[in-house]
Structure 1
Amino acid sequence: MFSKITGYFAIVASALFVAIGVMISYEVVMRYVFLAPTSWTEEMARFFLIWAVYMSAAHLLHTRELISITVLQERMSPRLRLASEMLALVWIAAFSVVAVYYGVVTVNESIEVGRKTASMLSVPQWLTEISIPIGFTLLFIQCLIEARALLRDGQPHRNVDRNWEDTI
């Protein structure tokens, strides 16, 4: 069930990446063809990029697409590989807890102070900052699910649910 939720977030993240490409292309045309640069594309592209990265992290963990050093893992015994996988999940989960805590602190501070971006749009800063606790909460939950599956099955999974139809 949770993998379906993170799969939906990954689809939204993919759409955001496409939108970034469209916005940047629009900006290039406006700036260099019409000599009329926009005031919103750079900030919106950055906003979308931040959200897309944090929204997709849990799904990337589930599908085992996060960066890993497979050269070392392939040379390990199955038991050592299992321990390595579990250690990685514990490390990611621990980091996620820290990121959620400090992310919430930062968001609360931005709301209290009324912090805004230093651009012409002057967007409230918490709108981008809140992506950190949301994304890392999803990643933490996914770590728990993956650790449970790892303990249950006794072996690491690789590249599960690679097809969008299987995910959703």
Structure 2
Amino acid sequence: MKLLTWLDKNLEITLSVALMSTMTAILAFQVFMRYVMGASLSWSEEVARYMFIWLIYLSIAYGAAQMRHIKLDAALGLFPQGLRNYVVILGDVLFLVFALYVVWTSWQVVERQLMLGQTSPAIGMPMWMIYSAPTVGFALTTFRQLQVIAFRIRNPNAWRDDEDI
């Protein structure tokens, strides 16, 4: 149970830090090899690019979990105080619908890549692994949005993003 609680609070940030750190180390090693040793690595930029793609999609889920996605707080002030909580939840539901749509459409791309069997040029990685980043990231975002919506329903006065889930 403690592991699940820890994963719930730290999964995205842990993976993001690991990806960012590894990506930075690979790129630093590439710069060292190119400018100091005079020999470029054929795989480093491709690996760093794929890590960055995964980092982006995992960070979307992290932003959802932290309730920090871009929205128009100034426009929220245009609504009467009694409706603001509902408007915020409506925005969360719309983001949830968008996340589900991305999961569905990106899964179709992954299925196509599985069928085609395409691999990356430098390291020979199956491209379905790269193309699955939006599917995994937005599936996790969907889960986080469900948590956010449940939190906002349980805590109707916490619409300002001040509290953690």
Unpaired runs of at least 5, structure 1: 162-166
Correspondence 1:87 to 2:53 = no
Aligned to 1:112: 115
Is 1:7 aligned to 2:48, yes or no?
no
TM-score normalised by structure 1 residue count: 0.82
SS of residue in 1 equivalent to 2:82: helix
What is residue 151 of structure 1 aligned with on the other side? 153
Counterpart amino acid of residue 132 in structure 1: P
1:75 Cα deviation from its structure 2 partner: 6.8
User: What is the RMSD of the two structures over their aligned residues, measured on CA atoms?
Assistant: 2.3
Quote the Cα distance in structure 2 between the aligned partners of 1:106 and 1:20: 25
Please give the TM-score of this superposition, normalised by the length of structure 2.
Answer: 0.84
Task: Name the amino acid aligned to 1:124.
Answer: P
Gaps of 5+ in 2: none
Deviations 1:82-136 (A, max 9, x none): 233223212211111111111111111101111122x222321101111211111
**C-alpha distance in 2 between matches for 1:2 and 1:157:** 24
Secondary structure at 2:41's aligned position in 1?
coil
Structure 1 residue 147: deviation in Å? 1.1
How many Å separate the matches in 2 of 1:72 and 1:2?
35
Is 1:123 aligned to 2:125, yes or no? yes
Q: How do 1:134-149 residues align onto structure 2 when only pairs under 5 Å count?
A: 134-149=136-151
Find out whether 1:61 has 2:64 as its counterpart. Answer: yes
Give 1:74 deviation, angstroms. 6.0
Q: Is the 8 A contact 1:51 1:131 kept in 2?
A: yes
1:156-167 alignment runs, 5 A limit: 156=159, 158-161=161-164
Q: Distance in 2 between matches of 1:59 and 1:67?
A: 13
Structure 2 counterpart of 1:164:
none
Q: Within 2, Cα distance between the matches of 1:77 and 1:59?
A: 30
**Structure-2 separation of matches of 1:160 and 1:18:** 28
CA distance in 2, matches of 1:75, 1:23: 48
Kept in 2: contact 1:6–1:56 (CA 8 A) = no
Structure 1 residues 145 and 3, CA gap change in structure 2 (3 angstroms): farther
* Residues 1:2 and 1:51: Cα distance change in structure 2 (over 3 Å): farther
Inter-partner Cα distance in structure 2 for 1:65 and 1:160 = 11
1:20-46 per-residue CA deviation (whole Å, 9 max, x = no partner) reads 111111111111222211111111111
How far off is 1:78 after superposition?
A: 3.7
Paired with 1:18 and 1:139, the residues of 2 have a C-alpha distance of: 22
Distance, in Å, in 2 between the alignment partners of 1:74 and 1:7 is 33
Identity %: 22
2:134 pairs with one of 124, 132, 141: 132
